[in-house]
Amino acid sequence: MKISFPHMGHSYVALKWLVENTGHECIVPPEPSSRTLDLGVRHSPEFACIPFKILMGTYLEVIEKGAEVILTSGSKGPCRAGLYWVMHQYILEELDVGVKVVAFEPPLCDLKDFFQKIRWVRKTGGLSLKEFVQVLRVTWEKLKAIDEIEKLSHEIRPYETNRGETTRKLWQALDMLDAANNEVDVEDALQEGQKLLQGVSQDRSRNPLKIGIIGEIYVVLEPAANHYIQIMLGEMGVLTDRSIYLSSYTSKNTIENREGDVLEVAKPYLGEAPIGGHGANSIGETILYAQNGFDGIVQLAPFACIPEIVAKSIMPAVSRDHGIPVLTLFIDEQTSKAGVQTRLEAFVDLLDKRRQVKAKRGIERLVI
């Protein structure tokens, strides 16, 4: 079968390996572009949020390339994300494009359904259970390695002396991970990639501002959706940390489900109210970043994203109580790279001035 899946950051490197090694042909989803968004907007309800539209466009692009099956994820909770795959399926049926959508619900929601779908992928590829488990292990190692490499690139970029060198090395490291075919290869490629990145020429005398990136999972994880915000900030000399990586998200939502700290610190602002998506995480992560000495927060929110709108309405109180400025960027199909860049430059200037004032007054915290 020709199988594809949504594009989400660099995870396609691991997912391509998974599909190819379960006996199927992989149609690698292209990085979302203006064409992807145009296609998605044309075939989506006007008020759907941008992840829905980008995924719709991606599905139509991979169908053009021959995809017969699309693997995607479902979701639990009050946010509408859980119904998105159903909507996508209806629209694709109406378009009569002859594709099957297979959605994996979080196993903690419906264990039987999850394993039935896994079994279907394995059986149609003709793999024994033992072979399939081995493929899953390598895929998991790849996912973790991809996240580690990307994290390291964000730590190094603000110190680079040749603009763009870190990003070029990141792509080389990802290519090495792409070529790895077993757990040992993945470990070797990871170490080689780390060496490559550490070899970037750097000025370690710099003292970069630190910004935490929080918000809705898709726009946080997909650089093409957020206009490469972490690269943009890194090249402005800012050190960024992102609250979500796919490997940590997957483990929290499938194996361990322990988001305890983040949700616990958010409780005074939310109580037990389930606001869906990553809204509660956005509150909790802002507090944790403030407690860890970060200078500011950028909240990424798809336009009309209900959980992030709720979080944004609480954010002024969080920001005041914990002394940390928060910039919320709402993203939709009208958002331009230049607009994002201008707002980030102004925010970074503000954070820089705050840091100077704090240093001059010899204080840890400024009242907002």
Interface ranges with ligand SF4 (CB under 6 A): 49, 51, 79-81, 216, 277, 302, 305-308
3-state secondary structure of 76: coil
Of 236, 254, 237, 252, which Cα lies nearest the Cα of 285?
A: 252
- Return the number of the residue (146 or 305) whose C-beta is nearest ligand SF4: 305
- Return the number of the residue (79 or 121) whose C-beta is nearest ligand SF4: 79
Shortest CB 220 distance to ligand SF4, Å = 10
In eight-state DSSP terms, residue 325 is -
Shortest CB 305 distance to ligand SF4, Å = 3
In this structure, are residues 122 and 132 in contact, taking their beta carbons and an 8 Å threshold?
yes
3-state secondary structure of 98: coil
In a 13 Å sphere around the CA of 42, the CA atoms on its Cβ side amount to: 12
- Return the number of the residue (79 or 213) whose C-beta is nearest ligand SF4: 79
- Return the number of the residue (78 or 107) whose C-beta is nearest ligand SF4: 78
Shortest CB 37 distance to ligand SF4, Å = 15
- Return the number of the residue (73 or 248) whose C-beta is nearest ligand SF4: 73
Shortest CB 309 distance to ligand SF4, Å = 9
- Return the number of the residue (55 or 326) whose C-beta is nearest ligand SF4: 55
Shortest CB 308 distance to ligand SF4, Å = 6
Question: What does each C-alpha distance from 2 to 8, 59, 68, 122 come to in angstroms?
Answer: 19, 13, 5, 14
3-state secondary structure of 239: strand
Tell me the β-bridge partners of 299.
Answer: 214, 328
Shortest CB 214 distance to ligand SF4, Å = 13
- Return the number of the residue (230 or 281) whose C-beta is nearest ligand SF4: 281
Alpha-carbon gap, residue 93 to 90, rounded angstroms: 5
CB burial readout 285-297, b (16+ within 10 A) else e: bbbbbbeeebbbb
Shortest CB 79 distance to ligand SF4, Å = 4
Shortest CB 34 distance to ligand SF4, Å = 20
Alpha-carbon gap, residue 285 to 271, rounded angstroms: 16
Q: What is the DSSP string of 152-193?
A: HHHHHGGGBSSTTHHHHHHHHHHHHHHH--SHHHHHHHHHHH
Please enumerate in sequence order all residues whose Cβ is within 8 A of that of 6, keeping only pairs 6 or more positions apart, or say none.
Answer: 29, 55, 58, 59, 70, 72
- Return the number of the residue (186 or 305) whose C-beta is nearest ligand SF4: 305
